[in-house]
Amino acid sequence: MIKVHERFLKYVGFDTESDPNSDTCPSTEKQKQLANVLIEEMTEMGLEKVFLDENGYVYGEISGNCEGPKLAFIAHMDTSPDLSGANIKPRIVSNYDGGDIVLNASQQIILSPKEFEHLLHYKGQDLIVTDGLTLLGADNKAGIAEILSLAEYLINHPEVKHGPIKIAFTPDEEIGRGANLFNLERLDADFGYTVDGGELGEVEFENFNAATAKIKVKGSNIHPGSAKGKMKNALILGMEFHNMLPTFDNPAYTEKYEGFNHLNDFSGSVESANMLYIIRDHDLEKFEEKKKLFRDIETFLNQKYGDATIGVEITDSYFNMREKILPHFHLIENAKAAMQTLGIEPLVVPVRGGTDGARLSYMGLPCPNICTGGHNFHGKFEYIPVQSMEKTVEILIEIVKRYANFKI
């Protein structure tokens, strides 16, 4: 069997960064390069009904050898556009000593436990890190590697009893589109898990309600020498809009179940400006209040500066999967029990983000999220312990065993 971290290192060699400005699916054609490799690997491994559709979704399955629900394991192929996923140069820090890790000496980029205390949990383990110039891609290529290591184990150990196992890998999760064209009929599963979480032991069945707000500001540019009473500076109006939002509804001041309004992009000139916000809250009522505030500010500023000065377009992205998981709470109980059997303390935490599982849960596939073992996703300080990946594969195997002959 191929070691799980070796699989992972192979996958991060593919640049699969998604593009929020593209209207195609997948949003970047290069995601299909990894998809084709996965198709080849899954076929050689002996999975059945291996298929890559025209939208870049990968499917496969392993027949059951006993009664039990059809259980799916899902991960995404794309990496976040927040930082480059091209030319990733991973390296393994063997037997980590608990000190600073110099990722890039020339640019003085250092991964330090002074900033990231969780590093100290992995003293003596082997950490996969970047060279400080790109993200690593553990979100979510670690999940892919772990799922296919599970598949290889089951195929090579037919004595392990399990029901039908369904596998899927999606494009464009990082830009909120991973479930848009997911074919649940082809997957044909009763329940699922996305393997897309963070540190070892995480189990997540609550996530943000999420929306995107696009703000268009229309200004009026007049020569500053004769602008009195005439100029409307779109950049300043945009700042006024932002300053009317609650100061502490900002991701820099929030944690756990606290929501936020995050200004993700602001560009423009005196004549016009564009702002992009992501709106998040676990509580649906508070989520709706946040969206209403955006519209109220739009109304106020248009009354102040003239109609059509401010335009607000809000689009819902996904909703909290909690209500869809609670009727099938065995998914959480079995994941926790699997971890406890392996001596891993379950960490039931809310997702401060979203997963394909949230969308899939609302589409009819109850699908909570479990750990990959990684830390510091979407940035140059991303890392993952080899031992956490190995333990995650063991968790997946144990979950599969628990659903053998499981009665719904």
> Does any domain span residue 220?
yes
pLDDT score, position 12: 98
Residue 353: is its pLDDT beyond 80?
A: no
Question: Which tokens in the block code for residue 357?
Answer: 């599982």
Q: Could you give the CA distance from residue 184 to residue 187 in angstroms, rounded to a whole number?
A: 5
User: Both 217 and 189 in a single domain?
Assistant: no
> Does any domain span residue 282?
yes
Q: What is the CATH number of the domain that holds 214?
A: 3.30.70.360
pLDDT score, position 351: 84
SS (H, E, C) 93-152: ECCCCCCCEEEECCCCEEECCCCCHHHHHHCCCCEEECCCCCCCCHHHHHHHHHHHHHHH
pLDDT score, position 174: 93
113-153 pLDDT, tens per residue?
Answer: 999 999 999 999 999 999 999 999 999 999 999 999 999 99
pLDDT score, position 407: 84
> Does any domain span residue 408?
no
Half-sphere exposure of residue 53, counting CA atoms within 13 Å on the CB side? 17
User: Both 175 and 109 in a single domain?
Assistant: yes
189-209 pLDDT, tens per residue?
Answer: 999 999 999 999 999 999 999
219-252 pLDDT, tens per residue?
Answer: 999 999 999 999 999 999 999 999 999 999 999 9
Could you tell me the sign of the dihedral formed by the alpha carbons of 72, 77, 79, 85, in that order? positive
User: Both 51 and 162 in a single domain?
Assistant: yes
pLDDT score, position 352: 85
Share above pLDDT 90 across residues of the chain, in percent, rounded to a whole number: 93
pLDDT score, position 317: 84
Q: What is the CATH number of the domain that holds 177?
A: 3.40.630.10
- Residue range of the domain that includes 227: 210-318
Q: Locate tokens 């423009």: which residue?
A: 268
Q: Which residues are catalytic?
A: 78, 173
User: Both 117 and 249 in a single domain?
Assistant: no
Query: What's the domain count of the chain?
Result: 2
Q: Could you give the CA distance from residue 359 to residue 208 in angstroms, rounded to a whole number?
A: 11
User: Both 342 and 201 in a single domain?
Assistant: yes
290-316 pLDDT, tens per residue?
Answer: 999 999 999 999 999 999 999 999 999
> Final residue of a domain: which of 300, 318, 336?
318
> Final residue of a domain: which of 318, 353, 375?
318
User: Both 22 and 142 in a single domain?
Assistant: yes
User: Both 193 and 216 in a single domain?
Assistant: no
Answer yes or no: are the C-beta atoms of 128 and 92 closer than 8 Å: yes
pLDDT score, position 113: 97
User: Both 18 and 84 in a single domain?
Assistant: yes
User: Both 272 and 391 in a single domain?
Assistant: no
> Final residue of a domain: which of 285, 302, 318?
318
Identify the three-state secondary structure at position 7: helix
Identify the three-state secondary structure at position 276: strand
User: Both 195 and 223 in a single domain?
Assistant: no
Mean pLDDT value of segment 308-330:
94
> Does any domain span residue 182?
yes
Mean pLDDT value of segment 245-269:
95
User: Both 303 and 331 in a single domain?
Assistant: no
Mean pLDDT value of segment 6-14:
98
First to last CA, the chain: 33
pTM above 0.75, yes or no: yes
pLDDT score, position 1: 77
Mean pLDDT value of segment 347-369:
90
Mean model confidence pLDDT for the chain? 96
pLDDT score, position 408: 78
318: confidence class by pLDDT, cuts 50, 70, 90: confident
> Does any domain span residue 407?
no
pLDDT score, position 59: 98
User: Both 195 and 88 in a single domain?
Assistant: yes
Residue 354: is its pLDDT beyond 80?
A: no
